[in-house]
Homo-oligomer: A and B are copies of this chain.
Amino acid sequence: MDLSQVKFDEQGLVPVVVQDAKTGEVLTLAYANREALEETLRTRRSTFYSRSRKTLWRKGETSGNIQEVVEVLLDCDGDAVVYRVLPHGPACHTGERSCFHRPLLSGEPSLGFVLSKVYATIQERLKTLPEGSYVAKLHQAGLDRILKKIGEEAGEVIIAAKNQNPEEVRWEATDLLFHLLIVLAELGLTPEDLARTLWERHRPPGGPAPS
């Protein structure tokens, strides 16, 4: 690992943007010294330097809320770093998933966030089968029932598109996508499995190579 391009500041630190690798959420802005960055790259666990405690800070060491690091990116100037992580538990000491939970201006959640969250809800429903849940009901009716929905919703997309009705297509394509997520969950697959496969086949020229 070559850290010669990293420009630590006069206190020997570099700011680290911690991002959820699946949902894309920015979780925390923290700081790393050389030792923390080296340990992160070696152990693939988020490690920082605590400016208040003036020590190495191994995220999750006491709370258990570790972060698996899947990617580390350096910026053009070499003076800022991104850790893309798979968090185990909340990133924030308040118990919130992300430290950035106070909107000064509210917007819509991103595509990656929505798909990850809706899929996680589907998984939860399949596990706990709560009364009144549509996903639970569909699961209890059996795989054939779910697959009939795939056929049905695909048919509705086709009809809506033949009607040249974008609103109807938006509606029916969402239904199809939702039921496709249920099929994935039933088969033990994730939206990330589809994203990876899609990227392997269709990444544009110059796009980052699949790992």
Interface residues of A (CB under 8 A from B): 1-3, 5-6, 15, 17, 19, 21-26, 28-29, 37, 41, 44, 69-78, 80-82, 84, 92-94, 96, 99-118, 120-121, 124, 143-144, 146-147, 150-151, 153-155, 157-158, 161-162, 164, 166, 169-171, 173-174, 176-178, 180, 183-184, 186-189, 191-199, 201-204, 207-208, 210-211
Q: Tell me whether A121 and B202 are in contact (CB under 8 A).
A: yes
* Cα(A92)–Cα(B188), bound, Å: 39
23 residue pairs of the A-B complex, CB under 8 angstroms, read A3-B104, A15-B15, A21-B107, A26-B26, A71-B107, A73-B103, A74-B103, A75-B100, A76-B96, A84-B107, A106-B211, A111-B112, A111-B116, A117-B207, A118-B204, A147-B157, A151-B154, A161-B183, A169-B183, A169-B187, A170-B189, A174-B198, A177-B180
The 4 closest A-B pairs by CB, nearest first: A112-B112, A24-B24, A71-B107, A154-B154
Known: A73-B102, A104-B1, A117-B203. A189 touches B211 (CB 8 A): no
Known: A151-B155, A211-B107. A102 touches B76 (CB 8 A): yes
